[in-house]
Amino acid sequence: MFTMLNIHREVCGYCGACVSVCPEGALELIDAYLSVSDACVNCGICARVCPLGALEVTNEE
Amino acid sequence: MKSEYDVLVVGGGPGGAMAAKAAVEAGLSACIIEKRPAIGTPVRCAEGVGEELLTEFIDPDPRWIAAKIDGARIIAPDGGELNLAPDMAGNEVGYVLDRKIFDRELVWKAAEAGADVFVKARAVDAIVEDGLVRGAIVEYMGSRKEVRAMVTIAADGVESKFARWCGIDTAIPLAELETCAQYLMTDIDIDPGLTVFYLGNEVAPEGYVWVFPKGERRANVGIGISGKKSGNGHRARDYLDTFVRRHFPEGKIIELIVGGVSVCRPLPCTVANGLIMVGDAARLSDPITGGGIYNAMYTGNLAGKVAADCIGKGDVNREALAVYDRTWRESTMGKAIERNYKIKEYFITLDDEKLNMLINSAKKIKMDKFSTLTLVRELIQHNPKMLVELQALKKSLG
């Protein structure tokens, strides 16, 4: 089992609030598209601050 | 896009536009790259700015002023109202802008002065050589190219990625990021000349709700809450929906605006070798109000001038550019940020009962001229139960 950051693109408002709190610099906003790099450690800080709830750290099989 | 400029500005908001304009007016070549396909949109802002502050840089123009504001009202958790006349409310009274038009105007002025501007042009990395920032790798029209510069100005807003690529940690602590949601609403009953702020831990924990008029029956209705108070079921948008259901159930929402605002201290150093950081990218928004338009314009303008001066003298190292950092810290703006940070740190400790006491007692205070210290002194007189904590606040303000 492993954890991963999921982006609900239909919810994302591409505002960049998540980018500004990411301790690893793993998030990048490319116009209306939020990208996650390998640097992501699934800490979930971005998921907490998202004003819309577009980010979620989930357990995957 | 040329492969070399004197000054490369990353970001086409008010900070970037002022920086580029100041640089070209000082005789330099400058280029603004904006990653979005349009300047000024999407809006990430409540759009309020103080009158005296704004007019320091630009003459007010009805094309981008949505409303002129004559007063502010603070609503306590118990519903008590504190009305602030213009001279008392200071920077919270002035204009509500139309940022879509305003930002374009500023970039147009920079372009007219001689700056190059490219949209949908995104910096993807910094060029750093021997510890000196020498420009950016820019993705534009499907290809990547080097754009070199003597000085690069990071004006990339709250995301502040460019400085990170230069090795500077710009991450905002969770508790000091206000996560925000706003509706542009129409067909609502408001006072078109009054900004209204709602406080309280139920309405907006460690933040506030704002109603900023944009005309007779329309307004930006928004909220910011601390990142540490945000989570599933209690996010900024959840609080905003609760507020809107209660206060403007018949209103129509014609735009959803989301964003983040830092309420931390500014970065400990806002320059590096060949690099200057301005506005939100340098964490220069006001820790109480979250306002950042003027602060970005002021530091952008200053950055452009300092860049020109240092390039003229042939030294763009951190020590030479540091005059920028020192100047804004010693400015009225820099001092206000430091003072407001301390006041914010105190205010977020208050429960609703204490907020009610402070706001309701402030109604009785008469001041000829607004001063934070006078206000705190008066609050101490009116709130003997809070003597110790208010005196500690007063002491911290010096």
Chain B segment 168-197 residues within 8 A of A by beta carbon are 170-174, 177, 179-181
Q: Write the DSSP assignment of B229-294 as a string of letters.
A: G--TT-SHHHHHHHHHHHH-TT-EEEEEEEEEEE-SPPPS--EETTEEE-GGGGT-S-TTT---HH
B36 closest CB neighbour out of A28, A31, A52: A31
CATH number of B4-40+101-172+266-330: 3.50.50.60
Q: Which amino acid is at B368?
A: D
B-chain CB neighbours of A53 within 8 Å are 232, 235, 237
- HEC string of B366-381 equals CCCCCCHHHHHHHHHH
Q: What is the pLDDT of residue B90?
A: 61
For chain A of 61 residues, list the mean pLDDT of each consecutive stretch of 10: 92 97 97 94 97 94 74
Do A51 and B237 make contact, defined as CB atoms within 8 angstroms?
Answer: yes
Q: What is the pLDDT of residue B276?
A: 99
**pLDDT for B86-137, tens place per residue?**
766 666 579 999 999 999 999 999 999 999 999 999 999 999 999 999 999 9
Q: What is the pLDDT of residue B196?
A: 96
Instruction: Report the residue of chain A nearest B259, measured CA to CA.
Output: A15
Work out the average pLDDT over B42-49.
95
Looking at every residue in chain B, the average pLDDT score rounds to 95
**pLDDT for B292-312, tens place per residue?**
999 999 999 999 999 999 999
Give the domain CATH number at A47. Answer: 3.30.70.20
Angle, vertex CA B156, rays to CA B152 and CA B162, nearest 5: 55
Do B230 and A49 make contact, defined as CB atoms within 8 angstroms?
Answer: yes
A16 closest CB neighbour out of B159, B164, B231: B159
**Spatial separation of the C-alpha atoms in residues B133 and B166, rounded to whole Å:** 7
**In terms of residue numbers, what domain contains A54?**
2-60
A51 closest CB neighbour out of B157, B161, B180: B180
Q: What is the pLDDT of residue B171?
A: 98
The count of domains in chain A is 1
**pLDDT for B346-381, tens place per residue?**
999 999 999 999 999 988 887 777 777 888 888 998
Cα dihedral A30/A32/A35/A41 (nearest 10): 120
A-chain CB neighbours of B120 within 8 Å are 31
Any idea where the domains of chain B sit in the sequence? 4-40+101-172+266-330, 48-97+173-262, 339-397
Could you give the count of Cα atoms lying within 13 Å of B265 in the half-sphere of its Cβ? Answer: 9
pLDDT at B287 over 70: yes
Q: What is the pLDDT of residue B52?
A: 85
Parallel, antiparallel or unpaired: strands B143-154 and B275-277 = parallel
| B30, B116, B126, B146, B362 from B2: Cα distances, Å | 10, 9, 17, 9, 57
Do A16 and B237 make contact, defined as CB atoms within 8 angstroms?
Answer: no
**pLDDT for B176-235, tens place per residue?**
999 999 999 999 999 999 999 999 999 999 999 999 999 999 999 999 999 999 999 999
What CATH architecture applies to the domain B48-97+173-262? 2-Layer Sandwich (3.30)
B235 closest CB neighbour out of A18, A21, A50: A50
pLDDT at B242 over 90: yes
Backbone torsions φ then ψ of B84, nearest 5 degrees? -115, 120
Work out the average pLDDT over B315-338.
97
H-state helical runs in chain B:
14-25, 51-54, 86-89, 99-113, 161-165, 236-247, 293-313, 318-330, 332-347, 352-362, 372-382, 387-397
Tell me, what's the ipTM?
0.96
Query: Percent of chain B at pLDDT above 90?
Result: 89
Query: Percent of chain B at pLDDT above 70?
Result: 98
Q: What is the pLDDT of residue B91?
A: 60
Testing the interface with A: which of B41, B177, B238 to mutate, by most A Cβ within 10 A?
A: B177
Q: What is the pLDDT of residue B153?
A: 99
